[in-house]
Amino acid sequence: MTSVHTTAPSVSPLPQDGEDYRLSLPNTARSAGVARHFVTSLLTGTAHSAIVDDARLCVTEVVANAHRHTRTSLIRVHVTVGREQVTVSVADDAPWTAPAPGGMPSGPTQECGRGLILLEQLALAWGSDVCGCCTPSHKAVWFTLAADTRVAV
């Protein structure tokens, strides 16, 4: 697994061609469920059917974190469905609340931070990007999944 934290545009370091899909959601408690259904509808019945559950879990965690930890008005979900992998990026308007890979809490009694542990275990790569150069305007947390690299949890 690879964790990345950058200040470049929100793009996985793993090159990928494919179809792009976007969804903008209001920042509400229901947004994680809507994003989960969106990703499920994109992947079910495709060559990526084996990673649908992982994708559902990861997008739910990342969107729920954006809802819980930011006051952004919109949460934007961008999905690239490639032939060999899927990359999901979740953006919000709070550039300075980006998670730090490797700075995850440990122990089974932790009440928060488990979503990042899930990303670390399930994703081929994940990271966060602060976008907007000198005056950051938003951040995105992204993850890439591929069926052939799935790790048993």
Tens-digit pLDDT string for the chain (153 aa):
444 444 334 445 555 678 999 999 999 999 999 999 999 999 998 889 999 999 999 999 999 999 998 889 999 999 999 999 999 999 998 766 555 555 555 555 555 667 788 889 999 999 988 876 655 567 899 999 997 754 444
In this structure, what DSSP letter does residue 147 have?
G
Q: How far apart are CA 18 and CA 1, in angstroms?
A: 22
On the 0-12 / 13-18 / 19+ scale of CB atoms within 10 A, 119 is buried
Locate 44 and state its tokens. 């079910």
Cross-strand partners of 91: 76, 140
Domain residue spans in the chain?
2-149
Q: 2-149 belongs to which homologous superfamily?
A: Histidine kinase-like ATPase, C-terminal domain (3.30.565.10)
Number of Cβ atoms within 10 Å of the Cβ of 71: 10
Instruction: Read off the pTM.
Output: 0.78
